Amino acid sequence: MIATLLSVPGTASACRLALALAVDVSVSVDQREYALQRNGLANALRSPDVIQAFLGSPAPVALAAYEWSGPSYAKVVLEWTLVTSAADMHHAADTIARYSRFQSGSTSIGYALDFGADLMARAPRCQHRTIDLSADGKNNDGLTPEAAFRNPMFRTITVNALAVGGSEVLDALTSYLSETVIRGAGAFVEVARNHDDFERAMKRKLIREVKSLALSELHPR
């Protein structure tokens, strides 16, 4: 049974992480690169190592995904899904793989974060909450990340980032995301050299995000 949900009040003790994947589909991402991102994310979720990381604790992960670009454009691709089996992971991957963007635009990371906070407000109650934001460029339109972080929701949300080489010099983009976008204890930036490297980097990032929580459960401070 696929555990898709919008909000389940009684799931706090059963869920260790609400993880929202935010994928950049701005105009700098062409159709080939978009396909690499979409299929790379789907393949990462199907990876046995990623599935093992998600299922490595009795407490499951709640997973959602959305695409974003300019101000006022973000679209949920995968509604909140409680991952309790490999079948749930494959369902999430298949849902993402079938999706096709219908709009692209400028790059508003601030709006993407604001949308992610609203999505988190509809998530099942979990011990931790993380937005996993990928971007191939800096914020260039609309709400800034600094303005988005004024939302009190971000007091309890970790933000990690995936820097994708392409329209920006990768070192400069990585520094920008490190200084401006990531936040929370243990937050980090993963790097994909280009869109062809997206799948590898996403696998590494997902495993790190999910396994770090499992380790903290085993060795609490």
Residue 139 belongs to some domain of the structure: yes
The set of residues, in sequence order, having a beta carbon less than 8 Å from that of 174 and lying 6+ positions away, is 163, 189, 191
From first CA to last CA, the distance across the chain in angstroms is 36
Residue 74 belongs to some domain of the structure: yes
pLDDT score of 101: 78
Residue 9 pLDDT exceeds 60: no
Residue 217 pLDDT exceeds 70: no
Indicate the range of 68-82, 91-105, 184-198 predicted with least confidence.
91-105
Residue 220 belongs to some domain of the structure: no
pLDDT score of 23: 96
Residue 73 pLDDT exceeds 60: yes
Query: Alpha-carbon distance 156 to 128, whole Å?
Result: 8
CATH number of the domain to which 138 belongs: 3.40.50.410
pLDDT score of 1: 42
Give pTM, 2 decimals.
0.90
Looking up tokens 């980090």 gives: 188
Tokens of 169: 């010099």
- 168: confidence class by pLDDT, cuts 50, 70, 90: low
Query: Alpha-carbon distance 152 to 149, whole Å?
Result: 7
> Domain span at residue 61?
3-215
pLDDT tens sequence across 23-68: 999 988 999 999 999 999 999 999 999 999 999 999 999 999 999 9
Number of domains in the chain: 1
Residue 221 belongs to some domain of the structure: no
pLDDT score of 167: 59
